[in-house]
Amino acid sequence: MKKIFPIFPKIFFSFIVLMTLFASAGHADYSMRRCLLLPITDSVGGGIAYKVHEEIELYLKTTSWCFYESNSDLISIFSKYRENLKKYLKTQEVLKVSADKSKAGSLIRIDLISHISGIEVQMDIVGDNGEDLYFSEKVLINKDDIEMIVQTLKNWLELYERNIPYDGRIIGILGDQITIDIGKNYRVAVGDEFTIKRPQAKKRHPLLKRIVEWETLMLAKGKVFSISDKQALGVVKLYTSAERLSVDDWVRVEKVQAEDKMQNMDYPEIKASEFGKLGTLGINLELSKSEAATVAPTNKSVSAMILGMSVDSEVWVTREYFGMFEFGRRFGSLSKRSGALTDDSVSTTEGTFKLMGGYKYLPLGFFYGPQIDFLAGYGTYTYNLETVAADGFGENEFGGIIMGIRASIPIQRIFRGFVRAEIMPFPKFKESTTTFGGSKSESSIQMEIGGSYQYNPLITLDGSIQMTNNKASFSGANTDLNYKSTAFKFGGSFSF
């Protein structure tokens, strides 16, 4: 037992790092409401550009439509190419790398050119693929006035913001609930209505090459009922398409009058769904490689593949606290593996029962990001083998307080991965007939790793590998009893 515990943190840390890499590797389309201000170029050695950059960056940091973060690494890289900077900032590959580094879908490129008659101000906003041109304006300002240049650029940015085809995008789906990547800092409030659309195609102006229109498919309508600093939670009220919702679908928020918002707050379905519906019910088929081994008084063991099924349920008391239940049975016959046995095979029934509660840590505030669950409760593992006293086989039970931890993380769009570990710190061994006598030490551990696929808003398809090891040691002639299993679980979970 003591040798096993230190590896748990390493396993969980490795899992989280691996899953995070998978999740980030699959992301190739960034929100237009995440913006990056590229280095501003001018024709006078940066004298004007520096002051304008300072003012526009301050504006972007304080505005509500743009999630802006300065990227010092990019600035330091661009500073090395100052002589040809204007050329590099028009190169598709450079723009794509800039978007990936900053995770921005709107790259703001500003160029200031001095003329005898004044300063020509040009602003382009390019998409994260380095090719799509979302916005382009140019004007000649008659005098060298920094304030006028800055105000002109701010006006253009406000115009661009009004033409972004969505307010936010879906980042999580659970049943009829969605998480949207806009929060308190954006113009959204509890009770606001929203529509969900999916982009189908882009239309470019034949001469200007700008994106002038988006073809979209209307998917659903709903209402916002909870807001955190950076996210909003909504419930879908009406589906207008047979297409299921997906991560990155567009959300457009529609303001609702104050008196209507008060009525919306009383909707019973919103109240019932306030922390993610009520819970889940899972049903799994199991194929288990099971083994029973004894020293009675010599080493003897039987093993085989056996079949079974399990039912588990999780009920959310609040957003953070939940209760869970698990019940499972496996049946089959175990054949001789080693030792001189009385019979070549013995029939077996394995059972699992758990009644537990826990605390759910949600780093993103809602159910759709990473989750870490801390578990505690009571459980039993039963092994009812055909009684053969000479071989040490019989009806046994390991039971006691269970403590565990479970971590899960989204992988790309509709997949989640998870890992779980549980132990009984002080398990109790029981036997129906006195074959072994009083035990002097016991250990019980179970680990599981797997994933789920969001088949539709209410159903996930689940698969996992579960490893269980229960062992008891004795001081008599029959000195050891060990039950091990590696189970492959396949099934589904239903939200209710």
Residues 6+ apart with CB under 8 A from 123: 108, 109, 110, 111, 135, 136, 137, 138, 153, 156, 157
**Residues 43, 122: Cα–Cα separation, whole Å:** 13
DSSP string, 363-386: TTSSTTS-EEEEEEEEEEEEEEEE
Which two three-digit tokens encode residue 189?
């409030």
Alpha helices in 132-253 (DSSP H): 146-163
Q: pLDDT, tens digit, for every residue of 229-264? A: 888 889 999 999 988 899 899 999 987 655 554 444
Phi-psi region of 3 (alpha: psi -120 to 50; beta: other; left: phi over 0): alpha
d(CA 415, CA 411): 5
Domains of the chain: 34-163 (3.40.50.10610), 166-272 (2.40.10.410), 275-495 (2.40.128.90)
pLDDT over threshold 90, residue 48: no
- DSSP output for 392-453: TEEEEEEEEEEEEEEEEEEETTTEEEEEEEEE-SS-EEEESS-SS-SEEEEEEEEEEEEEEE
Question: For 353-389, what is each residue's pLDDT tens digit?
Answer: 999 999 998 876 666 678 899 999 999 999 999 888 8
55 is written with which tokens?
């003012």
- Cβ-in-10-Å burial (0-12, 13-18, 19+) of 68 comes to buried
Greatest alpha-carbon span in the chain: 106
For residue 9, say if its preceding peptide bond is cis, omega within 30 degrees of 0.
no
Q: What are phi and psi of 366, to 5 degrees?
A: -125, -175
Q: Helix, strand, coil: what percent of the chain each, to 5?
A: 20, 50, 30
**Whole-Å CA distances, 452 to 16, 391, 414:** 16, 41, 8
For position 448, what pLDDT does the model report?
A: 97
Nearest C-alpha neighbor of 68 from the set 176, 143, 146, 157: 157
When pLDDT is cut at 50, 70 and 90, the band that residue 2 belongs to is very low
pLDDT digits (tens, 9 = 90+) for 160-196: 998 899 999 998 888 788 999 888 878 788 889 999 9
